[in-house]
Amino acid sequence: MSTTSPTPSPALSTRKKVTTRTFRQKKQRGELITMLTAYDYMTAQVVDQAGIDCILVGDSLGMVVLGYANTLPVTMEDMLHHCKAVARGAHMPLLIGDMPFMSYQVSVEEAVRNAGRFLQEAGMEAVKLEGGRERADAVRQIVAAGIPVMGHIGLTPQSVSQLGGFVPQGKTAAAAKRLVEDALILQDAGCFSIVLESVPAQLAELISKQLEVPTIGIGAGIGCDGQVLVIHDLLGLFDRFVPKFAKQYRKLHDAFVEALEEFKTEVEAQAFPAVEHSIFMDEAEWQALLAALKESGVHVEGTDPEGQSRISRI
């Protein structure tokens, strides 16, 4: 068996692996950060090939992959399973695992242990968790264990019951001030980056300018240091609803349905599989088979021009 390593494609060979240090350098240079979700091997490959800086294996998989009404039912085992697939498919982006509901809220010790599993078992390079000042102790201890942490404030989907639904945050002066404070607290606790979700654009820009670490916006306007979208929203694959802040660059759900309907029609009309989709035996071997079957007492019904036949036992 050959031991020669495969030659990387020219596009991949000229790219550098994205790290948490890359994030900080990009902010310092004024370069924007791109981040998308992925939940499986194939999607991770495509995101990597597109040159995206970061992949978040988000707990949003609960809704767009597993069909839950929200992210709350997602478990550690769900997350680790999908993270492993993504880690096999993507190599250049920074890989971040989303810590699911109740994997870090019970105790700091449990938070550290579960964060470690993302790196040790699932091939992730960082974790993300939701919440502001109330998560500062967990962030400090996870970072102290050598695990990079991305924060997440504003609309935090795991707190959707407490927030009263998927509603924008920080729209009053008092609420906005608290988010500014939370961002600074998370930075001081050691977060290398912070997601700002569904907050006013002016507030997101203000926070971004206050922080030394980069912000990643989703529904937070253009003033953040980077942007993230759920890939199913970007591609128009999830038709249950479309968030106001999501841009559908394609509407692949409709294309999927059309392709499947076309497949159904062609199968029922015997238009698929056609000759070019079929495999045939060498004619001499085929005739030898027919002769052998005849000697064995198997009756072979009439064959078509391509050598296909229906065989029945006498």
Render pLDDT for 178-223 as a digit per residue (tens, 0 to 9). Answer: 999 999 999 999 999 999 999 999 999 999 999 999 999 999 999 9
Contacts of 29 (CB under 8 A, 6+ apart): none
Buried b or exposed e, range 22-42, using 16+ CB within 10 angstroms: bbbebbeeeeebbbbbbbeee
Q: Which domains does the chain possess?
A: 10-256 (3.20.20.60), 273-313 (no CATH)
Render pLDDT for 286-305 as a digit per residue (tens, 0 to 9). Answer: 999 999 999 999 988 765 54
Q: 84: closest CA among 95, 70, 100?
A: 95
What's residue 9's pLDDT? 47
Render pLDDT for 87-114 as a digit per residue (tens, 0 to 9). Answer: 999 999 999 999 999 999 999 999 999 9
* Residues classed as catalytic: 197
Q: Strands 54-57, 33-37: parallel, antiparallel or unpaired by DSSP? A: parallel
Joined together, the tokens standing for residue 92 give 């250049």
Question: Is the model's pTM score more than 0.85?
Answer: yes
